[in-house]
Amino acid sequence: MIMKRSRRVHEKKDGEDDENTVVCNILRLPEACLAHAISLTTPGDACRSIAVSSAFQAAASSNSVWERFLPPGYGSILARADHPVDLTSTMKELFCSLAQDHVLLDQGTKSFWLEQTSGAKCYMLSSSSLGIAWRENPLYWRRTYLPDSRFEEVTELLAVCWLEVSGKIDSGELSPDKKYSAYLVFRLLNESCGLDCPTQQGFITRDGEIVSAKRIISLHPQTTAQEAAAESGDEQGRGRADEEVSITTVSVSYPRERDDGWMEVELGEFYNRQEDTGILAISLIEHVQLHWKKGLICEGIEIRPKK
């Protein structure tokens, strides 16, 4: 038994020596080779590899690694910034800055940032850049300012029957071979109404062809119709609510609160292939039942990778 245990210990030490030899051999690689290998991973992997050794730390922090994580053509995008972006910092610092905060582009009509884990391009189209039916009529919509918005102005719905909001972006502005989702970013006023109509739809087209399934969009947070009927003591209404929920809520998109205090609701999703070209149009419409709607403050439409 003692002999066997000694053999096992000896074999384990031999294995450890082999492992140490491999590690030592990797550390003998030139920094450029290590950097190239790390650049084939992800920003998260690069940050974790820093803890391996001082050689990995130097390679994983190099400009060659982080420039690869930055999207192609990032320079031309940042050239459209409303305020100059510091390009004299390291590529890692630039990546982290773009992943942590947004940059306003094109006279404040878009904001741009990078998705932290992949470096994919993300945008928000400001409400001022959206196509909104009847917006120029002051009886229906008005432009206003909110201090916690990233844009200089937001758009408030005063009263409409015909609701139509749409934003457009070129497929080439997005990262290729990524699945994206589009969200309406908004806020509701206390007197809001009519924004959960079952004929209110969200969808996405590319050059007129639908690329996402149409879905029912409610701008009011999800609550059960049964609870509302129970609070009013309406037994008959409760039965109607049960029936309505079973029919309509299967494909309804409901909003959720964001970390920045705004709300968002998903309008659709799509895959942006390398070879895809054309203009993407993201739409929210309701012109079937034509119920009166009011109390919506629209900040914009956000387009970011689907998690």
Residues 125 and 195 in one domain: yes
Q: Are residues 295 and 181 in the same domain?
A: yes
How high is the pLDDT of residue 182? 98
- Does residue 82 lie in a domain region? no
Which of 26, 53, 69 is where one domain is finished? 69
Taking a C-beta distance cutoff of 8 angstroms, is the pair 166, 201 a contact? no
- Residue range(s) defining the domain that contains residue 260: 93-220+255-305
Number of domains the chain contains = 2
98 in the same domain as 49: no
206: left (phi over 0), alpha (psi -120 to 50) or beta: beta
Mean pLDDT value of segment 237-255: 53
Q: What does the pLDDT read at residue 244? A: 40
Same domain, 178 and 276: yes
Residue 65 and residue 97 in one domain:
no
Which residue bears the tokens 């080439």? 172
> Is residue 65 located within the same domain as residue 99?
no
Kindly state whether residue 88 falls inside one of the protein's structural domains.
Answer: no
CA gap 147, 162 in Å, rounded: 29
Condensed to tens digits (0 to 9), the pLDDT of residues 261-298 reads: 999 999 999 999 999 999 999 999 999 999 999 999 99
SS (H, E, C) 213-257: CCEEECCCCCCCHHHHHHHHCCHHHHHHHHHHHHHHHHHEECCEE
Residue 237: is its pLDDT beyond 70?
no
Q: Which residue has the tokens 């005063």?
A: 158
- Same domain as 114, residue 20: no
Residue 230 lies in a domain: no
CA dihedral in degrees (216, 218, 221, 224; nearest 10)? -60
The average confidence (pLDDT) of the chain is 85
Q: Are residues 53 and 104 in the same domain?
A: no
